A and B are shown apart, each in its own frame.
Chain A
Amino acid sequence: MTPKTKIGEFEQLVLLAVLQLGENARGIDIRREIEQRAERRVTRGALYTTLERLEAKGFLDWEVEDSTPARGGLPRRRFTVTPPGLQALRTSRRALLNLSRGLEDLLADI
């Protein structure tokens, strides 16, 4: 694994949530998606700093959308996973699968 494609656990969750949401991957929705599907509490600070970090690593991209009245005219960003981001996810998934091979009985849900 090259250092460029190394991602942490929370970064993986964020990338997966963005992929799951597709066209609706906005800040608020990403947080909600992780909370619902991964069943863990996500602070806004952790989410936004992770989004910025993933963007700096080149794993995420975003485009600006129109605002709504509830946002007081402030813009909204919609995120998408870039090809390097997808590659990083594939790499870490492969590592996870390799390491868990043979442990299926131990790791299976009871």
Chain B
Amino acid sequence: MTHADPASRLPPRLAEWLLRRCLPTGIIEQSIRGDIREEYTALLRESCASYAKLWFWQQTLRLCVRFAFQRVGLRLHILGQSRAGHRRRGRESTERERQAIRNECEDISRDLERHMRRAEPFGSLAQDIRYALRTLRRRPLFTTVAVLTLGLGIGGATAMFSLIDGVLLERLPYLDPGKLVSVWQVFPGFREVEGISEYWDRGTISYPQYRVWREANTLFQDVAVHKVSGMTLTGRGEPQKLSVGMVSASLFPVLGVQPACGRWFLPGEEASIPGQGAQVAILSDEVWRATFAADPRVAGKILTLDDRSYTVVGVMPRGFRLRRLGPPIGGTVDTGERDLWVPIGQPGAGLGEGAINWEALGRLYPNVPIDHAVAETRRLLVGDADPAERDVRVVPRKEAETRGLGSPLVLLFGATGLLMLIACANIATLLLGEMNGRRQEVATRSALGASSRRIVRQLVTESVVLGLLGSVVGVLMAFAGTRILVALAPPIPRIDQWSRSGCWPSRAFWAWLRG
């Protein structure tokens, strides 16, 4: 499996790009990058990917700084050499050489002039901003009302958009999520059964059914199953109850996620008889940090779970989650967080035909229509398969995760958009009212020689400064508002993704606020 091969893990692309830009071009650049790549590959073999990536970045930045200094030093050296040469030849220098030096000096002064000309508008802009800030400070009531009104509008809209982005727009954190599907059993009879009526078309499957679908189908690249279980960790301080994902070895290839450290389960570690599965475990990032102090050489360490010894073989990337979308266990919506994962075949796993508790996922081959996949899985249903009583449904994973959420969230977003419009209208009214009182000021500035263009630019600068202040307050309100919304909202899948959602500037802003 390619996932377990560290040599296939490439260094950070941005760092590689930076190296290409900073190093001298040609073979020198390629060979230095090759050396760093070789050491990075060796590091991957003995420690985890995140540590190796961090190391790569560190080396990249150090090399860039070093070569930048060298380049500056070289230019100064060349300049010094050339001036010394001119001085040495001064006594017998020709008119042509003297003219070349004069041209060089004129070039430099033209450059300086050009820079000065470019800098001039920025100087007057800074003046405008300072004036705008003074004007706003002189009118504290107007400024406070305007900034708060804008802040409320921006904050409300941003908070709602953050949630929508996290829940509906954010790409699933799996490889090529368009091909990832949930495969459900449909039990029309359950529509009338209280408690599970909502889940009649999201039925889980049995382990034998998974084996048949995996081995006999032709339209899926692979099929995987998982379920949630609990185990008690002992021998490391106080005993702890851990949330454990029991998964097929095919789950990782299906999701296309690589462990941050170590390897994924091998096909031979999965067993169809309870108790015969290999005693190996993959840790979540949280447990790895809390129990093993983020030790990069954690692979091979032993954990005691339910009085059995398990060997740690890997660590999952930070934030990895796989939600269970079927009937909730204990009435709560699953967040997808697990403390560790073990392969199928542990004691009490429920692997018979009657144990319908495995949730199935599949990765389709490219360009396979959903209805073909439905027909194929229906054909391979184990046991009596009267479509009136039992059928199959194949749903794109993204759709399965956001089921029934689109319309209410978009409606709420529309409402906050209207709130934003009302805020803008209020600000416009306030500004117009203010302008009436500032006629004298504008007339004075005009009489003192300010052109109408300059006055308009000053007023626009004031509005922009007001808008920026409102935006700062708005983003702070959005930060608080999103947290309040998440806390008060009913259990919505992926709602906790809000802090990871958004475009990179908003992510950077959240990171700055948190850090």
Contacts and interface: CB of A to CB of B under 8 A. Distances in A.
Interface stretch (A7-15, A44-52, A85-93, A102-110): A44-52
A9 to B, nearest CB: 18
B388 to A, nearest CB: 57
Question: Chain A contact residues: over half helix, strand or loop, or mixed?
Answer: helix
A46 B66 contact: yes
Interface string A56-72: 00000000100111111
B23 to A, nearest CB: 8
A11 to B, nearest CB: 14
Interface stretch (B26-34, B158-166, B242-250, B317-325): B26-34
Given A70-B37, A71-B37, A72-B10, A43 B66 contact: yes
B63 A48 contact: yes
A49 B31 CA distance: 13
Contacts of A45: 62-63, 65-67
B356 interface: no
B36 interface: yes
A74 B63 contact: no
Contacts of B7: 69-70
Interface string B16-47: 00000000100110111111111101100000
Interface residues on B, range: 20 to 34
Contact of B67 (A27, A49, A67, A77): A49
In this complex, the interface size class of chain A, counting residues with CB under 8 Å from chain B, is: 20 to 34
Nearest to B65: A45
B38 A52 contact: no
B70 interface: yes
Nearest to B10: A72
A87 B233 CA distance: 68
Interface in A2-23: none
A28 interface: yes
B65 A28 contact: no
B63 A75 contact: no
B59 interface: yes
B34 A74 contact: yes
A23 B10 CA distance: 29
B31 A74 contact: yes
Given A70-B7, A75-B31, A44 B37 contact: no
A75 B67 CA distance: 20
A44 B27 CA distance: 17
Contact of A27 (B10, B32, B41, B42): B32
Given A27-B32, A43-B66, A71 B27 contact: no
B61 to A, nearest CB: 9
A68 B63 contact: no
* Residue in A27, A43, A70 with the greatest tally of chain B CB atoms within 10 Å: A70
A46 B66 CA distance: 7
Given A74-B37, A77-B27, A48 B10 contact: no
A25 to B, nearest CB: 13
A44 B456 CA distance: 56
Given A43-B62, A49-B67, A52-B70, A71 B38 contact: yes
17 contacts: A28-B39, A45-B65, A45-B67, A48-B67, A52-B24, A52-B28, A64-B27, A64-B31, A71-B35, A72-B37, A74-B34, A75-B27, A75-B30, A75-B34, A76-B31, A77-B27, A77-B28
Interface of B: 7, 10, 24, 27-28, 30-39, 41-42, 59, 62-63, 65-67, 70
Interface of A: 26-28, 43-46, 48-49, 52-53, 64, 67-72, 74-77
